[in-house]
Amino acid sequence: MNAKNRLTASAAAAALLAACLSAGAAAAADLVISNWDGYMAPDIADAFKAATGLEIEVVNHATNEEVMGKLMASGGKGYDVVFVSSPFAEILNGQGLAEPIDKAAVPNLANLYPEATTLAYDPGNTFSVPYTWGSTGLCYRSDLVEGTPDSWMNLLQPTDKLKGKTTMLATDRWLMAAGELAKGYSVNEKDPAKLEEVKNLLIEAKKTLLAYDDTTFYSKLVSAEASLVQAWDGWCNYGITENKAIKFVVPKEGSDLWIDTIVVMKSSENKEAAMKFINFILDAKNHAWAAQNILYKVPNKAAMESLDKALAEQYPNMAMAPADLVKFELLRDLGTAQKDYSRIVSEIKAAN
């Protein structure tokens, strides 16, 4: 999961230039793929070439907004396959930039859990394929926090002992989600009055925070700089690796269901190779790499069943059943309301 930053016009222009450069690079490869750094096996290009004879070039993006800015500025050109979170896959499809998945060319779709084939943003996986999925919750030092935190209010209205020892995610959707869930609202809430309540709650919470942090919160737990943080389940696992006193819990008010997806661009000149790439990723052995190495659950039944059981013992959130995971509320494309979220988050971060 990744930082959200709205692009300025100048950033969009820079993105267009980068997209053009990438398009040039595409001439030397059969496929150009954009993904987050470290989100695939480092030898993916060699392995894919050995399996198919096809060359791929992997380009990293830092955020959904970064790659979306490039895609929007270039009309989808410059990349054949992109990894984006599900609300952004929805946008690509809505803009007519996503190629329909050729299911006959992707037989490994059969490896997906049934729950991963009926997700509300794309039932039947018509334009996207889920790559990883998970929830957001509280990651904490069990040796520094009294009892088990079980509510988003433990984070938003911490005890005196925890004030200055908490962090929240900086990105629009997840920052807002903590307040929305605490208030009993949808993580896709659009009602202005309810969003105003959430804003006021989060402004008060800001006064108790150590920091907004999307990338190093687990390190802050390890060093004891922080005691309780808002975290994606997989990233909490990075902290657990270094300190067994670190735990993850989904608050009683619930969580969001986030999904990172794979999308083939309609502008791709090698869609057949793109479908082969998706099929390659969905091979149980290849997809298991993500669970084993980035410690995120993958929606691939065959891959998850191939994992060493010790993994789930060390990282209990890895054992969450798909049927339980999909009970959380799926993050959806907000449409024009995304501007409201961006404005409100800016106001929260600017508040004293």
Any idea how long the chain is?
A: 352
Nearest to 57, CA basis, from 24, 85, 75, 32 = 32
pLDDT at 160: 97
pTM, 2 dp: 0.88
CB distance 187 to 213 below 8 Å: no
- Measured at the alpha carbon of residue 310, what is the angle toward residues 1 and 117, in degrees to the nearest 5? 45
- By CB atoms closer than 10 A (0-12, 13-18, 19+), residue 79 is buried
**Other C-beta atoms within 10 Å of 33: how many?**
23
Give the model's pLDDT for residue 62.
Answer: 87
Would you say 80 and 270 are in contact if contact means Cβ atoms under 8 Å apart? yes
Q: Across the 352 residues of the chain, what is the mean pLDDT of every consecutive 10-residue run? A: 34 39 57 95 96 96 90 92 96 96 98 98 98 97 96 98 97 95 98 98 98 95 98 95 97 97 97 98 97 96 97 96 97 93 96 90
Q: Distance between CA 250 and CA 256 in Å, rounded?
A: 10
Burial class (CB in 10 A: 0-12, 13-18, 19+), 114: exposed
